Amino acid sequence: MRQTGIEIFYWLQNWSDDQTSCFAKAKDLGFDAVEISLTSGPDTPIAQMRSELDHLGLSVYASLGLPLEKDITSPDASVRQSGIEYLKRCVEAASRLGSPILGGLPHVPWLHFPAERDLRPFRERSAVAMREVAQVASDQGITLCIELINRFETYICNTVEQGLEYLALVDHPAVKLQLDTYHMSMEEDDLAAAILAAGPKLGHFHCAESNRKLPGGGQVRWGVVKQALDATAYRGPLVIECFPNPNAETGRTVNTWRPLVKDPDADLARALALLRREVA
């Protein structure tokens, strides 16, 4: 059975909030794991997180968003180098935390779109930088997972086809794809076909509905998702990622303009039960 996890910002108001404050809630609801973000990069309080994880018996998965001033796609070589060194330190932080992956957007700043018409050089510079970081990740036993998110949030890779092309540019086994059913519902013609195309390159998996609600509140056919994941032999976690509060910084950043849950904990418990029943 695949582990089930929750992206911890489901409950938090601000990106700067203490992520460990919700670990016990995740455990109480029955999750096997939490996904945390290295919101402060290498300065994230890893020891505090690790202590609470050990106390609760939770697994952990780490993600990040690449700061604009550390942009590894930048035409400025000094900015790229700063980003490479930053990512190497984040890999070391993920290793100390005990996460097997560093996912999210290590390859491009979130919500940043260059003015240039030709975006190929940006992808190529990103891939070259990621190859260098991947060697450090490999040495630390960490897999870098490139999340494929929708066109309104990034330009680098939106589909599995594009993601595989990007992996070919990186050309390192420590870099894989991270899929999210919300983003896939926007960008892919067929969710199952996309999962099958990712195949052994799939390193991490997010679960959310086509409307970014919790699993069970939209149009995703979870039985079909399970069949595709089984066919690829994916044994990683199923992590719910939803930002349901329109009045929180976390929700507004992703354009949550209406409440996506009625009772956060009760609705989440139902979504977890659905994943355990139909996908895990």
Of residues 185, 182, 187, 133, the one with CA closest to residue 156 = 187
Query: Is residue 124 flagged as an active site residue?
Result: no
pLDDT at 179: 98
pLDDT tens per residue across span 97-137: 999 999 999 999 999 999 999 999 999 999 999 999 999 99
Backbone torsions φ then ψ of 72, nearest 5 degrees: -80, -5
Say how far apart CA 265 and CA 6 lie, in whole Å.
Answer: 12
CA quadruple 179, 185, 189, 190: dihedral, nearest 10: 70
Query: Is residue 132 flagged as an active site residue?
Result: no
CB 188, CB 163: distance < 8 Å: no
CATH, residue 51: 3.20.20.150
Q: What is the DSSP pairing of strand 59-65 with strand 238-240?
A: unpaired
Band the pLDDT of 197: cuts 50, 70, 90: very high
pLDDT tens per residue across span 39-58: 999 999 999 999 999 999 99
Cβ count within 10 A of residue 43: 10
Residues 6+ apart with CB under 8 A from 196: 228, 231, 232
pLDDT tens per residue across span 135-166: 999 999 999 999 999 999 999 999 999 999 99
CB 137, CB 143: distance < 8 Å: yes
Per the structure, how many domains does the chain have? 1
pLDDT at 19: 98
CB 106, CB 87: distance < 8 Å: yes
Q: Which of 35, 52, 187, 241 is catalytic?
A: 241
CB 45, CB 277: distance < 8 Å: no
Q: Which of 35, 147, 153, 209 is catalytic?
A: 147
pLDDT at 108: 98
Band the pLDDT of 235: cuts 50, 70, 90: very high
Query: Which residues form the domain of 167?
Result: 4-278
The H-assigned helical ranges of the chain are 23-29, 46-56, 77-97, 120-140, 160-170, 181-187, 191-198, 222-232, 249-253, 264-278
